[in-house]
């Protein structure tokens, strides 16, 4: 399903740069998403903890449905990373707390798309959406301490390292420590002003 078909406005589709859009998940995306996961299983397994609960298209359908429900409830916003209108990964704003004005960004992309700044630019777009459209005060990225590529994304967009959360995630057969990076709304506004 392509970008044009999703172009319903608002957060449903976000143009990141030419050839790269974020498209809010829609029922019916599970087959294409499953195919990308299948092609990238060993690579994703290094850092993503959900591969064993995503073994079938049916399980991916539950993920897509929960994404559609999450958008309706406002508790999360998940977008397909669309490279030339094809699903190439996922980026999301999770655990949205209206009360505390905070949320977390999560992401992954297909191995073949690494190294082109797609996720860095997509994160910038989601930060803008979170701070401007959702009026959040703080956005966090958590990455395994040894996941250098993911930590580099957080650092590239100007997030600050708050600290290390010990043994915060179970990764199949061991716990991993997570580096917690955050950006405050006022810091983001200041960085935008500096760019102008």
Binding site for ligand COA (CB under 6 A): 44, 47-48, 107-109, 114-120, 143, 147, 149-150, 152-153
Note whether 134 and 97 are within 8 A (CB). no
Residue nearest ligand COA, Cβ-based = 117
Q: Which is nearer to ligand COA, 3 or 118 (CB)?
A: 118
CB of residue 158 vs ligand COA: minimum separation in angstroms? 13
Q: Which is nearer to ligand COA, 90 or 136 (CB)?
A: 90
Q: Which is nearer to ligand COA, 62 or 114 (CB)?
A: 114
CB of residue 165 vs ligand COA: minimum separation in angstroms? 12
CB of residue 40 vs ligand COA: minimum separation in angstroms? 8
Q: Extract the tokens encoding 32.
A: 């294409």
Q: Which is nearer to ligand COA, 3 or 181 (CB)?
A: 181
CB of residue 116 vs ligand COA: minimum separation in angstroms? 5
Q: Of 124, 82, 86, which is closest to residue 105 (Cα–Cα)?
A: 124
Q: Which is nearer to ligand COA, 25 or 181 (CB)?
A: 181
CB of residue 9 vs ligand COA: minimum separation in angstroms? 26
Q: Which residue shows structure tokens 């297909």? A: 110
Contacts 24+ apart (CB under 8 A), 36-39: 36/87, 36/88, 36/89, 36/110, 39/110
d(CA 131, CA 55): 35
Beta strands in the chain (DSSP E): 13-17, 20-24, 77-83, 86-97, 102-109, 138-144, 160-170, 175-184
């Amino acid at each position: 399903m392509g970008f044009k078909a999703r172009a319903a406005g608002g957060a449903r589709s976000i143009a990141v740069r030419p050839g790269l859009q974020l498209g809010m998940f829609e029922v019916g995306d599970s087959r294409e998403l499953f195919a990308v996961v299948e092609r990238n299983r060993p690579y994703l397994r290094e850092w993503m903890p959900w591969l064993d609960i995503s073994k079938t298209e049916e399980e991916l359908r539950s993920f897509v449905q929960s994404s559609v429900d999450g958008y309706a409830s406002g508790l999360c916003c998940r977008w397909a990373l669309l490279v030339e209108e094809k699903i190439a990964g996922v980026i999301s704003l999770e655990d949205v707390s209206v009360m505390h004005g905070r949320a977390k960004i999560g992401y992954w992309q297909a191995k073949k798309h690494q190294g082109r700044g797609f996720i860095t630019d997509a994160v910038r777009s989601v930060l803008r959406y979170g701070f401007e459209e959702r009026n959040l005060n703080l956005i966090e990225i958590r990455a395994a301490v040894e996941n250098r590529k993911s930590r580099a994304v957080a650092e590239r967009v100007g997030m600050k390292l708050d600290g290390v959360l010990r043994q915060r995630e179970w990764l199949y057969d061991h716990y991993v420590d997570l580096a917690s990076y955050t950006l405050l709304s006022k810091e983001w506004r200041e960085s935008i002003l500096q760019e102008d």
